[in-house]
Structure 1
């Protein structure tokens, strides 16, 4: 059985909040918290630490979207924004700000579950892409350090590149460390000595 999702609904209007909560109750088993006041929103959301945040706005502005985005932590969890009206460029601004879903024409009970599922799926895809990008950047930086270390060994010992790499690899294995860590230590030491 999947873990119970905790959902924060940001909605100042009690009637609209009730409709959203009822739609969520009808579409699944969730732990729902309604936040009516946007003052100190980030702190209120952090206190609940939800899995998903749903925000309902009648008429957003770019400033409101940026404020809500900062407060809801879209890199930490899926955030879906439901709006009644949208000015040109706001949907792009919302997605660029990290929101997982931007739904125009308000929130209706039949849309809650599909939008919730889509927001979660999009968030997971983006999180996976961010992790892959970070890993690729880390690997590239490690490759640069290893290349610098090989160059240092080639000059200092007068050996070809493949022997320099073999020496780094053998040293790493002997010390139970990663090649990149040994290379980093060599580059750092050479910087101190040079």
Structure 2
């Protein structure tokens, strides 16, 4: 599968070399857009696999805009710049930039840079998804435990009996145990 790349650059002449290097490296350059264009519309319309921002010296506004863009359209973002400072690198990382490169662009460098950025981005996204699922699972478990405690208190029964009551009631009402637990907790004014 060919990786489709969107180039964002205020100066088209500067990005010609980048465009050529990307094509030589085997990538499909979808288009080059000016950073002042509506990037949200462009991202929604083109759905690129990666975004390369070519900026001589990215401003804080540019980095904040990239951060917002990355949250709405999670894609690997690679920034090419002429200068690098620790503060700028840190701001780029906080904005969600996958790679920050300060150097001339050669096809071999571009290929490895984009491949590493895409692979790293996908691994990071998978970890975030797993973390979210784990957090949701723990929250559900806490709600079920609170509902069991409530049932144990109201019915003066043990934990196993409270769980069986939850399970049977949930099955009879065609809902998950977690949904029933939340309903019980909401009815008693307890937080889930």
Paired residues of 1:74 and 1:98 also in contact (CA < 8 A): no
Contact map agreement 2:4 2:27 (CA 8 A) in 1: no
> Structure 1 residues 7-16 or 169-178, which shifts more?
169-178
SS of corresponding position for 1:89: helix
Structure 1 stretches of 4+ moved >6 Å? none
- Correspondences of 1:36-47 after superposition (within 5 Å): 36-47=34-45
- Identify the residue that residue 154 of structure 1 maps to in structure 2: 152
Unaligned runs of 5+ in 1: none
One of 60, 74, 77 as aligned partner of 1:76: 74
Shift of the 64–36 alpha-carbon distance from structure 1 to 2, 3 Å rule, reads closer
Indicate the RMSD between aligned Cα atoms, in angstroms.
Answer: 2.2
Q: Confirm or deny that 1:9 pairs with 2:7.
A: yes
Between 44-53 and 133-142, the greater mean CA deviation after superposition: 44-53
Q: 1:159 to 1:68 in 2, by over 3 A?
A: same
Equivalenced residues, count: 190
Unaligned runs of 5+ in 2: none
- Counterpart of 1:102 (choices 100, 107, 112) is 100
Aligned to 2:134: 136
Aligned to 2:49: 51
Asked if structure 1 preserves the Cα contact closer than 8 Å seen for 2:5 and 2:27, the reply is no
In the superposition, relative to structure 1, how do residues 96 and 74 fare at CA in structure 2: closer, same or farther (>3 Å)? farther
Q: Deviations over 1:77-131 (max 9, x none)?
A: 1111111111222112211221111112243333211111111111111111211
Q: 1:168 to 1:106 in 2, by over 3 A?
A: farther
Cα pair distance change 1:23/1:48, threshold 3 Å: same
TM-score by length of 2: 0.87
* Residue aligning to 2:119: 121
Find the counterpart in structure 2 of residue 145 from structure 1: 143
Aligned: 1:21 with 2:19: yes
Partner of 2:180: 182
- TM-score (normalizing by structure 1): 0.86
Deviations 1:1-49 (A, max 9, x none): x3x4332101232233222221121122525211134243333333322
